Amino acid sequence: MAEQTGPAPMDRHETAMGLGPLSIFIRKLLNRSRLSTLDQQALANLPYKIQNLDVGTQILREGDRALVCPILLDGFTYRYKVAADGGRQIVALKVPGDALDFQSAYLHTADHDIRALTPVVIAMVPLRAIESLAEDRPAIARALLVDTILEGSIGREWLLNIGRRNAEARLAHLLCELYYRIDEIAGAPLDTYEVPITQEQLADLLGLTPVHINRMLKRLEGKGAIRSGRRLHILDLAELERISDFSDIYLHRNNVPA
């Protein structure tokens, strides 16, 4: 597949929206970091190869030595670990705009697996190119660090969610998080949101059985918070927030420095 690069330099009044396929990634970084026009253009000009992958495709395997960082442009992926008995725990969900594996630039052996949750479009960016750009541009280095720290913040909240919340609150909290993470990169307010996760995947994510997940979905549906079926739709975000006592502090939304 031929290598693609970003477009020609943009006018200084343009935003990340005009920076080609990597625009969604740059826009996500801009939610929490200040990047000059030149910084944004430098990110857009990173070398990359576009790949379209089917649902279930393995993107990264534990033990791999990664040379590229996949950046998710469309669709959803998940990070997971597998226990010795074959049990799977989903430890992260990735949404459009997320980089899937910054850590391999510095930790050279993958310690997790990543798989496509839905059909996805990803940009495969050489890790060495990202590392070089961070070395040359301090604002970009900071933005990548902030993004990595945010991932840790979300991971801490997931530990709390699985360890201390009851099943109903656990599921409601996850749905609130997904809503806000998608709303951040949607470009327009969301009235409802379709969650592309199966009951089996929710069970692997929340540490519950599929039967328990089914009961909790019916309970939330009975309260008018969601509509379930072949696809899960969030209908009443306020009710989900009430059930889970949701606070978005850990998402650090719009945390751009003054």
> What CATH number is attached to the domain comprising 50?
2.60.120.10
Mean pLDDT of the chain: 89
Report whether pLDDT(178) > 60.
Answer: yes
| Percent of the chain's residues with pLDDT above 90 | 76
Quote the domain boundaries for residue 58.
16-154
Residue 229's pLDDT is what? 80
Q: Determine, yes or no, domain membership for 66.
A: yes
User: What is the Cα–Cα distance from 203 to 81, expressed in whole angstroms?
Assistant: 14
Q: Based on the domain organization, do 150 and 172 belong to the same domain?
A: no
- Tokens, residue 174: 């996850």
Residue 199's pLDDT is what? 92
Q: Name the domain boundary from 96, 124, 154.
A: 154
Q: Per-residue pLDDT averaged across 48-52, rounded?
A: 97
Q: Model confidence over 89-119: pLDDT tens digits?
A: 999 999 999 999 888 878 878 999 999 999 9
Among the ranges given (122-131, 149-158, 230-239), the one the predictor scored with the smallest mean pLDDT: 230-239
Q: How far is CA 43 from the centre of its chain?
A: 19
Q: Determine, yes or no, domain membership for 146.
A: yes
- The whole model's pTM is what? 0.88
Q: Name the domain boundary from 124, 154, 184.
A: 154
User: What is the Cα–Cα distance from 26 to 130, expressed in whole angstroms?
Assistant: 13
Report whether pLDDT(146) > 60.
Answer: yes
Element (H, E) at 40: helix 37-44
pLDDT band at 1 (very low <50, low <70, confident <90, very high): very low
Q: Based on the domain organization, do 33 and 144 belong to the same domain?
A: yes
Q: Determine, yes or no, domain membership for 160.
A: no
- Residue 63 gets the label, from left (phi > 0), alpha (psi -120 to 50) or beta, of left
Q: Model confidence over 60-93: pLDDT tens digits?
A: 999 998 899 999 999 999 999 999 999 999 999 9
Report whether pLDDT(50) > 70.
Answer: yes
Closest CA to 193 of 184, 183, 185, 201: 183
Q: Determine, yes or no, domain membership for 202.
A: yes
Q: Based on the domain organization, do 147 and 179 belong to the same domain?
A: no
Q: Determine, yes or no, domain membership for 2.
A: no
Triad 255, 125, 256: Cα angle to 5° = 10
Report whether pLDDT(168) > 50.
Answer: yes
Q: Based on the domain organization, do 140 and 174 belong to the same domain?
A: no
User: What is the Cα–Cα distance from 59 to 57, expressed in whole angstroms?
Assistant: 6
Q: How far is CA 143 from the centre of its chain?
A: 16
Whole-Å CA distances, 149 to 58, 103, 154, 251: 25, 11, 9, 10
State how many domains the chain has. 2
Q: Based on the domain organization, do 205 and 141 belong to the same domain?
A: no
Q: Name the domain boundary from 154, 189, 209.
A: 154
